[in-house]
Amino acid sequence: MSDIAAIKDKYEGEIAGASDLKALNDIRVAALGKKGEVSMMMRGLGQMTPDEKKVMGPALNGLKNDIADLIETRKSVLELEAMNAALAAETMDMSLPVDVSMGTLHPVQQVMEEMAVIFSDMGFSVAEGPDIEDDFHNFTALNFPPGHPARDMHDTFFMEQVGEEEKKVLRTHTSPVQIRTMINQKPPIRIIAPGRTYRCDSDQTHTPMFHQVEGLVIDKETHMGHLKGVLMDFVSAFFETDVDVQFRPHHFPFTEPSAEMDVRYERVGSEIRIGQGEKWMEILGCGMVHPNVLRACGLDPEEYQGFAFGMGVDRLAMLKYGMPDLRDMFAADTRWLGHYGFSPLLQANLATGLS
């Protein structure tokens, strides 16, 4: 028994002396590892008489627990010391002057922030989801059953298959974020989901990567009037002028009824003026969330309903700020960014103006 007390004393001393986590771990292995001193002694129990075992069993267990406790306690101290040392070493000099002429906010970033400001004023919060999605969130739960022809509308990029797992896709819209939100959050829900989306398409008005903002409202008494009111308020706030809109019936698998919203515009020379004129331009898709989508997310369509909408951020940025070619947006040309970019210090807000 005095052996055990001596072993405990020995390790207690070593543990107190361990100067870093690595040294501490070496001590743990030497004492409690598979071939450690205490483990080997415990293995010796098998050869003892029942009377010896009755005494040595609990004693060795106690020794093992005491050493483990000492190691844990020392470990917390060393971890704290390591963190404090890292914090002290990684200080940042915040007093350096910033040269704001060096960088600008990309118009896509600016427009997403303008949208977030407008919708947060209406009580929406911002939700996000992964760019690489599974078939369930991008299609099936959105009421595109497997094999449904509507899946072909979305020129999908498929990821390479990994093992037995089903092939992932680059999300073709931000609508999977509405699925993730409805599954994880109890209504009432009021979110917008800004982010990157991908479709295999490239010309003057399409790029393989583009940006969307999706909106979703779910509650017990939400109806199409709310949908129209929110979107009408949104476009006037966004274009910073009164904008006349019209809703045209449309089809999306995930909404019923579905509509597209057009804004009135006219072309003067090469300039597009939103809000006035005789022509209509489609700017977003919307509708009442389909009961099958609610069911796929575990919501009872008899109890909950709501609306969703989705729009292309890059196109709205082009319309608002007069950029002629979508592809320039992602060419990373600093001359273009210098011309169309926004000051990073002027935050979009409703009080002093969005842009």
3-state secondary structure of 330: helix
CA angle 246, 151, 298 (to 5 degrees): 80
Among 137, 173, 190, 211, binds ligand PHE (CB under 6 A): 173
252 touches ligand PHE by CB under 6 A: yes
Contact (Cβ atoms closer than 8 angstroms) between residue 314 and residue 106: no
Residue selected from 214, 265, 314, 315 as contacting ligand PHE according to rule CB under 6 A: 214
Whether the CB-CB separation of 242 and 275 falls below 8 Å is answered with yes
CB of 199 to ligand PHE, least distance (A): 9
Smallest gap, in angstroms, from Cβ of residue 328 to ligand PHE?
Answer: 22
Task: State in angstroms the smallest separation of the CB of 256 from ligand PHE.
Answer: 10
Helix (H, G, I), strand (E, B) or coil at 70: helix
Q: Which of 24, 245, 310, 316 binds ligand PHE (CB under 6 A)?
A: 310
The three-state (H, E, C) secondary structure of 72-113, written as one string: HHHHHHHHHHHHHHHHHHCCCCCCCCCCCCCCCECHHHHHHH
| Candidate residues 261, 287, 294, 316; the one interacting with ligand PHE per rule CB under 6 A | 287
56 binds ligand PHE (CB under 6 A): no
Name the residue nearer to ligand PHE (CB basis): 254 or 265.
254
Of the candidate spans 121-129, 280-288, 290-298, 313-321, the one that interacts with ligand PHE by CB under 6 A turns out to be: 280-288
Q: Is omega for the bond preceding 344 within 30 degrees of 0, making it cis?
A: no
Taking CB under 6 A as the rule, does residue 176 contact ligand PHE? Answer: no
Q: Is 124 near ligand PHE (CB under 6 A)?
A: no
227 touching ligand PHE, by CB under 6 A:
no
| Residue 194 in contact with ligand PHE, rule: CB under 6 A | no
Q: How many residues bind ligand PHE (CB under 6 A)?
A: 11
> Strand locations in the chain, DSSP E?
125-126, 132-133, 169-170, 189-198, 209-219, 245-252, 255-268, 271-274, 279-289, 305-312
Backbone angles phi, psi at 25, to 5 degrees: -65, -35
Contact 197, 169 (CB under 8 A): no
Q: Does 286 bind ligand PHE (CB under 6 A)?
A: yes
Bridge partners (DSSP) of residue 196 are: 211
CA 188 to chain centre: 20
Nearer to ligand PHE, 110 or 178 (CB): 178
State which of residues 308, 313, 316, 326 lies at the interface with ligand PHE (CB under 6 A): 308
Closest CB 288 distance from ligand PHE, rounded Å:
9
Work out whether 247 is an interface residue with ligand PHE (CB under 6 A). Answer: no
Q: Check residue 115 for interaction with ligand PHE (CB under 6 A).
A: no
Stretch that binds ligand PHE, among 71-79, 128-136, 282-290, 294-302 (CB under 6 A): 282-290
CA proximity to 106, closest of 308, 270, 323: 323
The amino acid present at 95, given as its one-letter code, is: S
Q: Is 285 in the site for ligand PHE (CB under 6 A)?
A: yes
Structure tokens at 84: 């404090």
**Sites of contact with ligand PHE (CB under 6 A):** 173, 175, 214, 252, 255, 285-287, 308-310
